[in-house]
Structure 1
């Protein structure tokens, strides 16, 4: 329609004015009126008249493949031959000839790493799987940090042990494992999971856990989801309204963490464990508390049934806690019993 309108106006006011009024490009109008003839048959690749002949290409390849130049780059070969008074072709032509024969590749010996196995652990009760990690606490001035180590039970979410230290080391990490077991009245877990930090994978920690017959488990590098319970615990800590921007001293950091983790274990109703406190789930009293909650809710329903759509029940306690729960088709999951 635009072409037709342009044609009608063109006879009255000219091509340029008609295209301006209709909004059509003059180049488009010319292309529509003068289409290119269709190309018939296969197109032949254009060969430059001064391109290397097959004999010259073979000579270049023979030179590049010779014992003298087989380990050198085309740029070095080109420069050496030029210094000797020989010019065969350009550097880019050498690369093009080698590329055409599949002989251009990365020559350096590159490191290869085996695929990391995704950790898959499940705990169906306390003291089966523990998880620990470290986080930084800002000190009194910029650049000064304290390190907080936290060990928790992934099933009950209870913080088994914590400590604030000036900096991490493999020996402090080893002592932290021993202190965590002592804080749990000497009860050993079946597994201890951690990320791939230096102290976590250090030899003293590894030897200690082997001696105690505790299975080690580690996250994949740069995959924070492999240690979700410790990461969530640190978020709860640092999102606390009372959490300060900086701690004036390591003693102040210890006092704050002592108050926080005491509250967390004994008073914080955790949504992931049926709104019970981690301490009651860890010591097994949560089942009795849930039964008492059910009794109170039943009484409330009996007194005012019209206020409920159905008989209320307290939140259920978890049956299992997973680190990377596999799909049902995966049969290689290691269950912790």
Structure 2
């Protein structure tokens, strides 16, 4: 709202322009003011009442009376309707030949009285805190895993790919295809990974979503025996496990991904084995400086990236007129984050929080 002193100043300027020969409409347009607003201000000034809008009380003529509001609240809170939303109450009243108010009016009345949420006898939703921020500065510190379906030749039946990856190096450290989905099989794969990678107790954090195989008693007992700390995503939030989700998309969008279902379990295992070899040993991963996951897992990426920088510096020295700025950035990605706090990035130089075996959020 425009204060009264400002109104008086604007009216004085317009009056001065009119006396100088300008039309009132043009004077108002020059200051982006509606002529009707100016007339209302002038009427308020003549009546010496100031701005009358805040004191104006507008009540629809068709509004419910207090008695009607009380009766409506009594009906919607009765034993018959107390557990139903207005969208269910209105048609039931209509079937009995009654009309008390529209659905939107009932919603508005309930909201005004603080009765709009959880009218039914159901468990209210609980707020879910995001998973604890984790980070890795080397291989075999932070793993992510998930299960994806692979189509079989039998409609409605699937094979299940268990896939474990090292988030720091992006290497697929373990996988297996089964015809069932259970925590016992997942525990067996994880036990094999710890043996091959020589994982010590309290060395690795394993992140996954909230599926039954991930939180099954057998899997949790296996992790406890191995000294691996579990970390879980929020229910139904796939973004909390982005590395595994991205890996599945890379796999299923490969040109070599079969257009037809797998004929049997062995065919599925053979195809996944070939994909894992390509991904680990041949694929230059864009997020880790275009080195292969195996090279990064083995610690060879730093030397490779330094050699690339030397090559580019030499090329620039040979033909400096072909370079408008610095050479391509081949810096080593030293830290990788999972579910970072706001402000952290994949290449953040902030010191990583040490990974300790505490119960993850």
Tell me which interval the TM-score lies in, with the shorter structure as reference length. 0.5 to 0.7
Equivalent pair of 1:290/1:314 in contact (CA under 8 Å): no
Asked whether the equivalents of residues 293 and 314 of structure 1 are also in contact (C-alpha less than 8 Å), the reply is: no
Structure 2, unaligned runs of 5 or more: 1-55, 83-96, 345-350, 356-361
Q: Which residue matches 1:291?
A: 306
Distance in 2 of aligned mates of 1:229 and 1:47: 58
2:266 aligned with 1:251, yes or no? yes
Aligned residue among 329, 353, 356 for 1:335: 353
Identify if the C-alpha distance between structure 1 residues 71 and 263 changes in structure 2 by more than 3 Å, giving closer, same or farther.
Answer: same
Q: Secondary structure at the match of 2:212?
A: coil
CA RMSD of aligned residues (A): 3.9
Structure 2 partner of 1:145 = 158
Alpha-carbon separation, structure 1, partners of 2:296 and 2:196 = 17
- Whether contact under 8 Å (1:128, 1:336) holds in the other structure is no
**CA 1:71–1:270: 2 relative to 1, 3 Å:** same
Aligned partner (choices 181, 200, 207) of residue 193 of structure 1:
207
Query: Does residue 114 of structure 2 align to residue 114 of structure 1?
Result: no
The alpha-carbon deviation at position 264 of structure 1 amounts to: 0.9
Question: Deviations 1:18-51 (Å, cap 9, x if unpaired)?
Answer: xxxxxxxxxxxxxxxxxxxxxxx97888799xx9
Compute the displacement of 1:291 (Å): 2.1
Partner residue in 2 for 1:229: 243
Residue 123 in structure 1 maps to residue 136 in structure 2: yes
Go from structure 1 to structure 2 and tell me whether the alpha carbon gap of 1:190 and 1:336 turns closer, same or farther (over 3 Å shift): farther
CA distance in 2, matches of 1:116, 1:57: 37
Match of 1:270 in 2: 285
Match of 1:335, SS? Answer: coil
Query: Deviation string for 1:132-167 (max 9, x for gaps)?
Result: 001111112432311111100111101000101112
* CA apart distance, 1:177: 1.5
In structure 2, the partner of 1:322 is: 337
Does the Cα contact within 8 Å between 1:195 and 1:221 map onto a contact in 2? Answer: yes
Hey, what's the Cα distance between the residues in 1 that align with 2:66 and 2:255? 79
Deviations 1:251-295 (CA, angstroms, capped at 9, x unpaired)? 111111111111211111100000011111111111122222223
- For residues 341 and 142 of structure 2, what CA distance do their matches in structure 1 show? 17
Look up the match of 2:40.
Answer: none
Q: 2:101 and 2:319 mapped to 1: Cα distance? A: 90
Judge conservation of contact 2:191–2:226 (CA < 8 Å) in 1.
Answer: no
Equivalent residue number for residue 86 of structure 1: none
Counterpart of 2:26 in structure 1 is none
Structure 1: distance between partners of 2:263 and 2:66: 79
1:214 deviates by: 2.2
Gaps of 5+ in 1: 1-40, 75-89
Contact 2:162-2:176 at 8 Å conserved across structures: yes
1:130-209 matches, within 5 Å, as 130-187=143-200, 189-209=203-223
**Residues 279 and 293 in structure 2, CA contact (< 8 A), matched pair in contact too:** yes
State how many pairs are aligned: 273
**Structure index of larger Rg:** 1
The equivalences for 1:98-113 within 5 A come to 102=113, 107-113=119-125
Secondary structure at the counterpart of residue 169 of structure 2 = coil
Which whole-Å CA distance do the structure 2 matches of 1:53 and 1:127 have between them? Answer: 69
Label 1:233 to 1:92 Cα distance change in 2 as closer, same or farther (>3 A): same
1:314 CA drift (Å):
5.1
Q: CA deviation at 1:335?
A: 2.6
